[in-house]
Amino acid sequence: MTFTADDWPIAAALLQFPGTTDRGPVQDAPAAAWVDAFTELHEAGFDDVDLTDSWVRIGDLSDTRLQEFGEALRTAGVRAPSVSAIRRSVIDARHGDENLAYSHRTIDAAAALGCSVVSVGLHQALTPAQQEQLWFWTVEGHHDPTDDRETWDTAVRRLRELGQHAADVGLLLSLEMYEDTYLGTADSSVRLVEDIGLREVGLNPDIGNLVRLHRPIESWREIAEKTLPYANFWHVKNYYRDEDRARDLYVAMPAPMEFGIISYREAFRIAIDAGFQGVLCCEHYGGDGLSVSATNQDYLRRHVLPKHSGYSLGTSRVAQGSPKDGAQ
Amino acid sequence: MTFTADDWPIAAALLQFPGTTDRGPVQDAPAAAWVDAFTELHEAGFDDVDLTDSWVRIGDLSDTRLQEFGEALRTAGVRAPSVSAIRRSVIDARHGDENLAYSHRTIDAAAALGCSVVSVGLHQALTPAQQEQLWFWTVEGHHDPTDDRETWDTAVRRLRELGQHAADVGLLLSLEMYEDTYLGTADSSVRLVEDIGLREVGLNPDIGNLVRLHRPIESWREIAEKTLPYANFWHVKNYYRDEDRARDLYVAMPAPMEFGIISYREAFRIAIDAGFQGVLCCEHYGGDGLSVSATNQDYLRRHVLPKHSGYSLGTSRVAQGSPKDGAQ
Amino acid sequence: MTFTADDWPIAAALLQFPGTTDRGPVQDAPAAAWVDAFTELHEAGFDDVDLTDSWVRIGDLSDTRLQEFGEALRTAGVRAPSVSAIRRSVIDARHGDENLAYSHRTIDAAAALGCSVVSVGLHQALTPAQQEQLWFWTVEGHHDPTDDRETWDTAVRRLRELGQHAADVGLLLSLEMYEDTYLGTADSSVRLVEDIGLREVGLNPDIGNLVRLHRPIESWREIAEKTLPYANFWHVKNYYRDEDRARDLYVAMPAPMEFGIISYREAFRIAIDAGFQGVLCCEHYGGDGLSVSATNQDYLRRHVLPKHSGYSLGTSRVAQGSPKDGAQ
């Protein structure tokens, strides 16, 4: 059974929903506040939500609160196929242990909520300089140490440990690509996932993260071709981009998926040839990201995703774990 | 009675309709030419038109011609809830008196046509350097004098005089925000409207004017939060924007409202919490601004404006004067 | 009989369809591969395809293969009103003779397939530096020699020869505007087509080619006004653009037609006043150009093209040759 335009799970990220409002952290808000957010997202056209942890950290909810959270999802009529834990690197020099423990708790909470995939990454907290920018990606942030076998091995070991935990509770673990980390290039990302070597650990080829940088970039098509065979979840977003290298000019701005430089029509052809059947998650920075995400979902279902089941699907290098095929 | 997505008045500006054609000024054209413009706008999807005075100056029409103008509106089946008088500063060193008189005439004409709000500003004529640019806002234009108590007081006095006139004929006066004038920052705009101190005088928080500049800008969210409690009319438009301050790079381009950096979803939540029930006016510079405005109207009604009446509305600091609530 | 929004022929270019796949050149592929491409385009919403020769060179197909090609079009249910031969300048110092012969063969093949217009240009192969860019137009490429009477005359003579051939087989020849060639400015383009002096030779005013350059540009409106009276085919596309001349900053990015700096609403008014009834061809570089082209077709039919027949049409300086009016 393969997904089609009608039933491919497409979740909206919660990036536009702030973690703190004038009534305090949403983490501690009454469940009614969660229902409001899910309802707004549902009314915008989404049946699926990505539990982006900049909004609420499900791994930090008590059992009772987690049940309330699941109830809030059901009340609003949305499902949560995925969780995205952001900036919680397990090799963070100061917070690595803490982030590892948090990631374990997040996997357990995700399993309790019936999710199918948890996405983590190696990007670390935004620097003060990044926080001052209109777009944080226009200045450099944290770099994972290069030629540092020990840190690499720690990343492999800890992510494998998380992957094994995910597998044990019927989930997939997905690793989000992000510049200047071990998941910052296509080659390094593939190497990392192969070093981990678990079927339940794959990539989240968030190519948008890489093509918005104010410096020379890898070709999106090459990234797609190299990483999609390992993808088991996908943050999809797009950017307008201009370059004038002779003038050292780089410009990039968030774009609707249909209009940016990545051709998702072509990227999905590559994905399907590579056996991809993962959950999609629409992200969009700046402005009315939820409306743009709804426009993006529309575009995917109308122009990009297969119209009919029974298409020829390639063989992925990793397990595919969407709700439909029972991987959880 | 509160407005909903179905009936909130959204007018199209006439920015794309030139004031002079090869048959001469539209001001002096037969009424049939006016009907043609209104009809095109109506066919693009608008029931409401903003009488932007770069096209026709209603304040300079004779009584007979003004009646023809009203007839042209009715023939085309459109209403004119608002008038925007552009670059007619009442503190212009050379043309201030003239602009004041013109603004009075415009208020009388607006009342005669059954409008509900007249928007004026403190921006002055484009400089020759501005006129040579692709986008006039990429070079600096007129600055209102800072630390000049007398000019500030003249602005307050003359705008209060216009506001009183507007109030006397059942209209609102709205002050358009525009860079480098006394209406160029959120704080200064609020101070000005408070110094004027009339319920019928409020702000037109044209945030798009401020976020397109090729220099550091105020946060759109802070502008919205500070000024929307004083808003009684709203030029809505949006921009793509990129910045790279380390390189002194600023790029901005007109964008559909859904896609630019201002989240109108969020801005309207702020507006409604602040009691806003004013007329909206879609502006868009460059290209096919009328079609983009129609797309913007669609976006507002589909994604942004309240679906149902009876929502909780905050208390505005100024009078709200849309046709529906009988303020005129 | 004039075209309306319902029946104006709008073809999709094949720019997004690569000429070589991992199975080799599409030129030599089985006809089934052609059917697949035409079907994808048809499913995207197009009944008409522009035979862009970066995909398949119909002039280099044998008679048998050309029949297969025509069959592939019919199988997919699409028509081919136009052919665009790209970078085949007849005054190329090294390949001019070869390009001339190729253009003749293309005209014959186009006639055999029942096309109505063949577009050629004077732009030459991309330089290595151009090929390395994100957008090839951000660095300068080939320049036609200025003040070189002999080369100009050769261009006139050879294009007239092609135009005569086109006329003989019931086709039109269209000359694509492109920077730094004799078709690089409005004035030069008009002079060239007038020097050629055949009713069947007109312009393809591809204004998008000219407004995306990273340098000062001609006004799109002036280009439209000067060249549309000579247009007999039209590559339509649009760009976002920002300029900051004081900083020597130029930014341009492919945009949906509705959103870019060229107002096609206004450009079509100019076109119809100039008697234009030619085939339109949607091009879009980068990203998912086919989906954007479909969005553009939608925009044209909904907002731009005349709703009803019987509108007042100006008199073109050249023959109009769409399928409908029987010019072929």
A45 shares contact with chain B (CB less than 8 Å):
no
Residues of B in contact with C259 (CB under 8 A): 254-256, 287, 292
Q: What is the mean predicted confidence (pLDDT) over A78-102?
A: 98
Residue of B242, B249, B261 lying closest to A287 (CB–CB): B261
Q: What are the structure tokens assigned to A110, written together?
A: 């995700």
Residue A5 has pLDDT above 50, yes or no: yes
Q: What is the mean predicted confidence (pLDDT) over A12-25?
A: 95
pLDDT at residue A321, as a whole number = 77
Residue of B16, B253, B256 lying closest to C241 (CB–CB): B253
d(CA C57, CA C27): 7
CA distance C133 to chain A (A): 8
Question: Are the beta carbons of A287 and B238 separated by less than 8 Å?
Answer: yes
Q: Place A327 in a pLDDT band, splitting at 50, 70 and 90.
A: very low
pLDDT digits (tens, 9 = 90+) for B75-133: 999 999 999 999 999 999 999 999 999 999 999 999 999 999 999 999 999 999 999 99
d(CA A216, CA A250): 8
Q: What is the mean predicted confidence (pLDDT) over C16-37?
A: 96
Residue of C245, C246, C258 lying closest to B295 (CB–CB): C258
C-alpha atoms less than 13 angstroms from C-alpha of A24 in its C-beta half-sphere: 4
Residue A326 has pLDDT above 60, yes or no: no
Q: Where are the beta strands (DSSP E) in chain B?
A: 10-12, 20-21, 24-25, 48-52, 79-84, 117-121, 172-176, 201-204, 233-236, 238-244, 249-255, 279-282
Residue C326 has pLDDT above 70, yes or no: no
Residue of A240, A264, A304 lying closest to C253 (CB–CB): A240
Beta-bridge partners for B49: B12
Give the CA angle between residues C26, C29, C35 to the nearest 5°. 85
Residue of B243, B244, B259 lying closest to A287 (CB–CB): B259
Q: Place B322 in a pLDDT band, splitting at 50, 70 and 90.
A: low
Q: What is the mean predicted confidence (pLDDT) over A263-270?
A: 98
pLDDT at residue B267, as a whole number = 98
pLDDT digits (tens, 9 = 90+) for C208-254: 999 999 999 999 999 999 999 999 999 999 999 999 998 899 999 99
- CA A21 to chain centroid: 24
d(CA B118, CA B115): 8
Neighboring chains of A (3 or more beta-carbon pairs < 8 A) = B, C
d(CA C60, CA C99): 12
Work out whether strand A172-176 and strand A201-204 pair parallel, antiparallel, or are unpaired: parallel
Residue B323 has pLDDT above 90, yes or no: no
CB within 8 Å of chain C, chain B residues 123-152? 133-135, 138-139
Give the CA angle between residues A218, A219, A220 to the nearest 5°. 110
Amino acid C250 reads Y
Nearest of A178, A188, A176, A175 to residue A146 by alpha carbon: A188
Work out whether strand A79-84 and strand A48-52 pair parallel, antiparallel, or are unpaired: parallel
d(CA B104, CA B108): 6
Domain count, chain B: 1
CA distance B66 to chain A (A): 41
d(CA A249, CA C133): 12
Question: Are the beta carbons of B258 and A295 separated by less than 8 Å?
Answer: yes
Compute the residue count for chain A. Answer: 328
CA distance B288 to chain C (A): 4
Question: Are the beta carbons of B287 and C238 separated by less than 8 Å?
Answer: yes
Q: Is A132 exposed, middle or buried (0-12, 13-18, 19+ CB in 10 A)?
A: exposed
d(CA B55, CA B35): 13
Does residue A217 lie within any of the structural domains?
Answer: yes
pLDDT at residue B60, as a whole number = 98
User: Is the separation of the CB atoms in C51 and C82 below 8 Å?
Assistant: yes
Amino acid A30 reads P
Q: What are the structure tokens assigned to B310, written together?
A: 């009876």
Q: Place B325 in a pLDDT band, splitting at 50, 70 and 90.
A: very low
Give the count of Cβ contacts less than 8 A between chain A and C.
61
pLDDT at residue B1, as a whole number = 78
Q: Place A325 in a pLDDT band, splitting at 50, 70 and 90.
A: very low
Please tell me whether residue C293 adopts helix, strand or coil conformation: helix
Question: Are the beta carbons of A251 and C252 separated by less than 8 Å?
Answer: no
Give the count of Cβ contacts less than 8 A between chain B and C.
61
A16 shares contact with chain B (CB less than 8 Å):
yes
Please tell me whether residue C240 adopts helix, strand or coil conformation: strand
Q: What are the structure tokens assigned to A221, written together?
A: 């098509």
Beta-bridge partners for C79: C48
Nearest of B38, B26, B32 to residue B78 by alpha carbon: B38
Residues of A in contact with C43 (CB under 8 A): 307
Average pLDDT, chain C: 96
Nearest CA in chain B to C264: B288
d(CA C229, CA B262): 41
pLDDT digits (tens, 9 = 90+) for C158-204: 999 999 999 999 999 999 999 999 999 999 999 999 999 999 999 99
Residue A76 has pLDDT above 60, yes or no: yes
- Say how many C-beta atoms besides its own lie within 10 A of residue C185's C-beta: 19
Looking up tokens 């983490």 gives: A27
d(CA C235, CA B77): 36
Query: Residues A231, A234, A235, A240: is their CA dihedral positive or negative?
Result: positive
Q: For residue B294, give the CATH number of its domain.
A: 3.20.20.150
Question: Are the beta carbons of C242 and B256 separated by less than 8 Å?
Answer: no
Report the complex ipTM: 0.96
- Say how many C-beta atoms besides its own lie within 10 A of residue C267's C-beta: 24
Question: Are the beta carbons of B242 and A288 separated by less than 8 Å?
Answer: no
pLDDT at residue C322, as a whole number = 53
* Optimal mutation site among C303, C304, C307, C308, interface B, most CBs of chain B within 10 A: C303
Nearest of A265, A266, A190 to residue A230 by alpha carbon: A190
Neighboring chains of B (3 or more beta-carbon pairs < 8 A) = A, C
Minimum mean pLDDT range among A157-166, A317-326, C157-166: A317-326
Does residue B149 lie within any of the structural domains?
Answer: yes
* Optimal mutation site among C247, C284, C291, C293, interface A, most CBs of chain A within 10 A: C291
pLDDT digits (tens, 9 = 90+) for B227-279: 999 999 999 999 999 999 988 999 999 999 999 999 999 999 999 999 999 99
pTM of the model: 0.96
Does residue A111 lie within any of the structural domains?
Answer: yes
Q: What is the mean predicted confidence (pLDDT) over A58-85?
A: 98
Amino acid A219 reads S
C303 shares contact with chain B (CB less than 8 Å):
yes
Residue C8 has pLDDT above 80, yes or no: yes
CB within 8 Å of chain B, chain C residues 77-106? none
* Optimal mutation site among C213, C241, C288, C299, interface A, most CBs of chain A within 10 A: C288
User: Is the separation of the CB atoms in B103 and B162 below 8 Å?
Assistant: yes
Residues of A in contact with B261 (CB under 8 A): 134, 286-287
pLDDT digits (tens, 9 = 90+) for C268-277: 999 999 999 9
pLDDT at residue B270, as a whole number = 98
B221 shares contact with chain C (CB less than 8 Å):
no
pLDDT at residue B52, as a whole number = 97
Residues of C in contact with A303 (CB under 8 A): 44, 288, 291, 294
Nearest of A176, A157, A155 to residue A278 by alpha carbon: A176
CA distance B308 to chain C (A): 29
C75 shares contact with chain B (CB less than 8 Å):
no
B32 shares contact with chain C (CB less than 8 Å):
no
Residues of B in contact with A289 (CB under 8 A): 263
Q: Place A309 in a pLDDT band, splitting at 50, 70 and 90.
A: very high
Q: What are the structure tokens assigned to C61, written together?
A: 């197909």
Q: What are the structure tokens assigned to C169, written together?
A: 């087989």
Residue B155 has pLDDT above 60, yes or no: yes
pLDDT at residue B222, as a whole number = 98
End-to-end CA distance of chain C: 15
Q: What is the mean predicted confidence (pLDDT) over B308-317?
A: 95
Question: Are the beta carbons of B288 and C264 separated by less than 8 Å?
Answer: yes
Residue C77 has pLDDT above 50, yes or no: yes
Question: Are the beta carbons of B245 and A133 separated by less than 8 Å?
Answer: yes
d(CA A282, CA A301): 13
Please tell me whether residue C24 adopts helix, strand or coil conformation: strand
Q: What are the structure tokens assigned to A156, written together?
A: 């492999």
pLDDT at residue C327, as a whole number = 37
Does residue A300 lie within any of the structural domains?
Answer: yes
Residues of C in contact with A241 (CB under 8 A): 134, 253
Nearest CA in chain B to C268: B288
Q: Place C325 in a pLDDT band, splitting at 50, 70 and 90.
A: very low
Residue C328 has pLDDT above 80, yes or no: no
Q: Is B308 exposed, middle or buried (0-12, 13-18, 19+ CB in 10 A)?
A: exposed
User: Is the separation of the CB atoms in A172 and A116 below 8 Å?
Assistant: yes
CA distance C8 to chain B (A): 20
Does residue B5 lie within any of the structural domains?
Answer: no
Does residue B1 lie within any of the structural domains?
Answer: no
Question: Are the beta carbons of A214 and B244 separated by less than 8 Å?
Answer: yes
Domain that holds residue C185: 10-322
Question: Are the beta carbons of C138 and A262 separated by less than 8 Å?
Answer: no
Question: Are the beta carbons of B287 and C245 separated by less than 8 Å?
Answer: no
pLDDT at residue B321, as a whole number = 77
Tell me, letter by letter, the H, E, C secondary structure of chain A.
Answer: CCCCCCCCCEEECCCCCCCEECCEEHHHCCHHHHHHHHHHHHHCCCCEEEEECCCCCHHHCCHHHHHHHHHHHHHHCCEEEEEECCCCCCCCCCCHHHHHHHHHHHHHHHHHCCCCEEEEECCCCCCHHHHCCCCHHHCCCCCCCCCCHHHHHHHHHHHHHHHHHHHHCCCEEEEECCCCCCCCCHHHHHHHHHHHCCCCEEEECCHHHHHCCCCCCCCHHHHHHHHHHHECEEEECEEEEEEEHHHCEEEEEEECCCCCCCCHHHHHHHHHHCCCCCEEEECCCCCCHHHHHHHHHHHHHHHHCCCCCCCCCCCCCCCCCCHHHCCC
d(CA C210, CA C205): 10
C-alpha atoms less than 13 angstroms from C-alpha of B308 in its C-beta half-sphere: 3
C219 shares contact with chain B (CB less than 8 Å):
no
User: Is the separation of the CB atoms in A251 and B242 below 8 Å?
Assistant: yes
Q: What is the mean predicted confidence (pLDDT) over C291-308?
A: 97
Does residue B105 lie within any of the structural domains?
Answer: yes
Does residue C5 lie within any of the structural domains?
Answer: no
* Optimal mutation site among C259, C262, C266, interface B, most CBs of chain B within 10 A: C259
pLDDT at residue A322, as a whole number = 53
Q: Is B110 exposed, middle or buried (0-12, 13-18, 19+ CB in 10 A)?
A: buried
